[in-house]
């Protein structure tokens, strides 16, 4: 999913409900859902509660260079 969803998720309850419905609909169709643009802990917590499968953004990690990706570097929390 586009990072704009992550940036707007904290603006209103309607945005949270809308995103949760989209995630549920996609997952019901067998789609794993990823979202980019996560840059703060509040957004991360909200997105986690929606059930999104994968979260990406500067709050999680700086972009990895090509060599790190090729070598299969995995981040651990």
1-26 per-position pLDDT tens digit: 888 888 888 889 999 999 999 999 99
**Higher-scoring residue by pLDDT: 15, 65:** 15
pTM for the model stands at 0.72
Domain residue extents for the chain: 3-70
C-alpha to C-alpha distance for 21 and 77, rounded to whole angstroms: 28
pLDDT higher than 70, residue 77: no
Listed in sequence order, the DSSP H helices in 1-77 are 3-8, 13-28, 41-50, 66-70
32-47 per-position pLDDT tens digit: 999 999 999 999 999 9
Q: What pLDDT is attached to residue 10?
A: 85
């Amino acid at each position: 999913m586009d990072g704009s969803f992550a940036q707007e998720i904290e603006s209103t309850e309607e945005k949270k409900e809308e995103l949760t419905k989209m995630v549920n609909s996609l997952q019901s169709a067998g789609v794993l859902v990823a979202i980019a643009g996560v840059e703060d802990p509040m957004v991360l917590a909200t997105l986690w509660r929606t059930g999104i499968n994968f979260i990406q953004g500067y709050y999680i990690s700086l972009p990895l260079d090509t060599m790190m990706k090729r070598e299969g570097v995995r981040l651990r929390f």
